[in-house]
């Protein structure tokens, strides 16, 4: 028996700030445990919080990027619960008046899993958002069987919770949603959103029902999924689990489950948990915020989103839709591409070299574009040598390989050291005449229509030349001479 699947996501993304949400402790990753703490983020009695204005501004910027609205007044609340990662026994968060309301996240086609792109059910789908609220992150817990280790370096880090409406219908859409959102947050400089570093985590709410007219089924929440592939696999497992139980007449109960990545299955944590279980009440230590003045500050900071960048690259620089998608998927890559592009070099040629050569080399060396040793100016000068006929495409690849390992050198100097330079005036013409005279049968075949033999004649000229001229130039001279 088949069921309709309804999924909503709650994504927690750490906001990129120098200090924590309510204190001056430094935000960090990978430092020695419990070295960035103070009475506020340790929850000491009597310690009073102070708002981080940058975190609020970046959350509002996120709302603008995602077409959210904001209430005139946003306030802070306490969410009460007992757990070692929050020793004061409450989390400072937002309940009924969050910073951002509504909006949506577009699902970019290239953000779907590769094996699912040909069967996208709803192209150009936008997943509606319910809200974005700001809160403090909790400490990192490491469980060791009968004991637990707590690191409070992460406690108090500004954390956005981005909550969708129940618009997602499959693990593939959830995968695309998280990847698309990740790109947008990175594009705006709001969050690095690195799931491997715990900067972005996801809770999945999933329910099944027989018919669209039926009320939503009982919600099952999957907690703290920390990779995009795990989100997809956990949803597939949970759909199968609920389908089998419902088909066997076993009703679902509202519950929270965890994903065991090693076993590839979800496991029960606890049953039923609603907002009233947390006993929310307004935080007495923090004043409400007027959002209008802050929105005026951040509105000019809204960047081009990936789909807007892609459209401009296609329209203004003449790249293909695929190239535009790749180049706009990372803000550092987009900036690099634009910095290389010059009026003298067609954008398509720049895109080809970056995608086919530069990115491949970076992947081989396990480097990101921000770590590329070849500057945009150097790559532009290299591509100008190609555009001006000094280098062939294959020669440019050889020069680039050496340039990558010796980025302080000039591309023209490297080309010269390899012997890649134009022949002296008249030298090529003389060599061409010699090769034509020495290969009469091949010349006759070319003139009879077998143009493939031009490559043979080109090779003979290249061997005879004292330098390594552009083979394309040699071929064109032969073509002009014989055809």
Q: What share of the chain is helix, strand, coil (3-state, %, to 5)?
A: 40, 20, 40
Higher-confidence position of 341 and 438: 341
Which distant-in-sequence residues (6+ apart) come within 8 Å of 171 by Cβ?
231, 232, 233, 234, 235, 236, 239
DSSP letters spanning 6-25:
EEEEEEEEE---SB-SSS-P
Q: Does the pLDDT value for residue 267 go beyond 60?
A: yes
pLDDT of residue 422: 64
- Pairwise CA distance, residues 430 & 437, whole Å: 11
- Pairwise CA distance, residues 9 & 17, whole Å: 24
φ, ψ at 246 (rounded to 5°): -65, -40
3-state secondary structure of 63: helix
Give the mean model confidence (pLDDT) for residues 152-171: 97
Residue 268 burial class via C-beta count within 10 angstroms: exposed 0-12, middle 13-18, buried 19 and up: exposed
Mean pLDDT computed over every residue of the chain:
91
Helices (H), 276-392: 291-298, 306-317, 321-328, 331-340, 347-353, 359-364, 376-387
pLDDT of residue 426: 62
- pLDDT by residue (tens digit) across 275-320? 667 889 999 999 999 999 999 999 999 999 999 999 999 999 999 9
- pLDDT by residue (tens digit) across 80-106? 988 889 989 999 999 999 999 999 999
Q: Does the pLDDT value for residue 54 go beyond 90?
A: yes
- Pairwise CA distance, residues 22 & 44, whole Å: 13
The domain spans of the chain are 4-298, 304-417, 427-482
Q: Does the pLDDT value for residue 474 go beyond 90?
A: no
pLDDT of residue 227: 95
pLDDT of residue 273: 65
Q: Does the pLDDT value for residue 194 go beyond 80?
A: yes
CATH number of 427-482: 1.10.10
- Pairwise CA distance, residues 108 & 308, whole Å: 12
Angle at 83 between CA 79 and CA 85, to 5 degrees: 90
pLDDT of residue 479: 80
- Residue 131: count other Cβ atoms within 10 Å of its Cβ: 22
- DSSP type of residue 69: B
- pLDDT by residue (tens digit) across 124-138? 999 999 999 999 999
Flag whether the pTM goes above 0.75.
yes
pLDDT of residue 168: 97
Which distant-in-sequence residues (6+ apart) come within 8 Å of 365 by Cβ?
none
> Encoding tokens for residue 354?
């970056």
Q: Does the pLDDT value for residue 333 go beyond 70?
A: yes
55-92 burial string, b = 16+ CB within 10 Å, else e?
Answer: bbbbbbbbbbbbebebeeebbbbbbeeeeebbbbebbb
Give the mean model confidence (pLDDT) for residues 33-44: 95
- pLDDT by residue (tens digit) across 396-442? 999 999 999 999 999 999 988 887 876 554 667 777 777 787 788 78
- pLDDT by residue (tens digit) across 350-409? 999 999 999 999 999 999 999 999 999 999 999 999 988 888 888 899 999 999 999 999
């Amino acid at each position: 028996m088949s069921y309709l699947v309804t999924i909503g996501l709650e994504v927690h993304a750490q906001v990129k700030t120098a200090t924590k949400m309510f204190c001056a402790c430094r935000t960090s990753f990978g430092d020695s445990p419990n070295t960035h703490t103070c009475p506020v983020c340790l929850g000491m009695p009597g310690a009073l919080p102070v708002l981080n204005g940058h975190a609020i501004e970046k959350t509002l910027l996120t709302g603008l990027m995602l077409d959210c609205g904001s209430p005139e007044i946003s306030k802070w609340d306490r969410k009460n619960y007992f757990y070692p990662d929050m020793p004061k026994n409450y989390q400072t968060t937002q309940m009924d008046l969050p910073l951002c309301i509504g909006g949506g996240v577009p699902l970019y086609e290239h953000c779907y899993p590769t094996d699912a792109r040909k069967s996208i059910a709803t192209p150009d789908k936008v997943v509606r958002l319910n809200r974005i609220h700001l809160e403090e992150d909790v400490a990192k817990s490491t469980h060791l069987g009968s004991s637990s280790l707590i690191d409070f370096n992460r406690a108090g880090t500004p954390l956005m919770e981005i909550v969708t409406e129940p618009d997602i219908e499959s693990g593939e859409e959830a995968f695309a949603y998280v990847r698309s959102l990740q790109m947008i947050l990175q594009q705006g400089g709001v969050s690095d959103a690195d799931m491997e570093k715990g900067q972005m985590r996801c809770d999945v709410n999933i329910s099944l029902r027989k018919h669209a007219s039926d009320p939503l089924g009982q919600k099952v929440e999957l907690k703290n999924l920390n990779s995009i592939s795990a989100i997809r696999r956990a949803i597939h497992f949970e759909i199968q689990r609920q389908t089998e139980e419902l088909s066997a007449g076993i009703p679902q109960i509202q519950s929270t489950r965890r994903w065991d990545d090693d076993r590839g299955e979800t496991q029960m944590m606890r049953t039923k948990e609603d907002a009233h279980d947390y006993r929310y009440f307004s935080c007495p230590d923090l004043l409400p915020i007027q959002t209008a003045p802050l929105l005026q500050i951040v509105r000019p900071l809204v960047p081009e989103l990936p789909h807007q960048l892609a459209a401009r690259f296609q329209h203004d620089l003449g790249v293909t839709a695929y190239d535009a998608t790749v180049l706009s998927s990372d803000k550092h890559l987009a900036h690099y591409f634009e910095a290389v592009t010059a009026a003298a070099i067609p954008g398509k040629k720049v895109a080809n070299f970056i995608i086919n050569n530069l990115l491949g080399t970076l992947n081989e060396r396990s480097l990101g574009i921000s770590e590329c040793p070849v500057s945009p100016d150097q790559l532009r000068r290299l591509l100008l040598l190609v555009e001006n006929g000094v280098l062939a495409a294959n020669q440019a690849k050889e020069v680039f390989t050496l340039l990558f390992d010796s980025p302080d050198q000039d591309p023209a100097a490297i080309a010269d050291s390899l012997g890649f330079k134009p022949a002296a005036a008249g030298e090529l013409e003389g060599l061409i005449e010699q090769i034509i005279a020495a290969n009469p049968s091949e010349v006759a075949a070319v003139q009879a229509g077998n143009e493939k033999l031009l490559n043979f004649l080109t090779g003979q000229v290249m061997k005879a030349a004292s330098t390594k001229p552009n083979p394309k130039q040699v071929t064109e001279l032969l073509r002009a001479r014989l055809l």
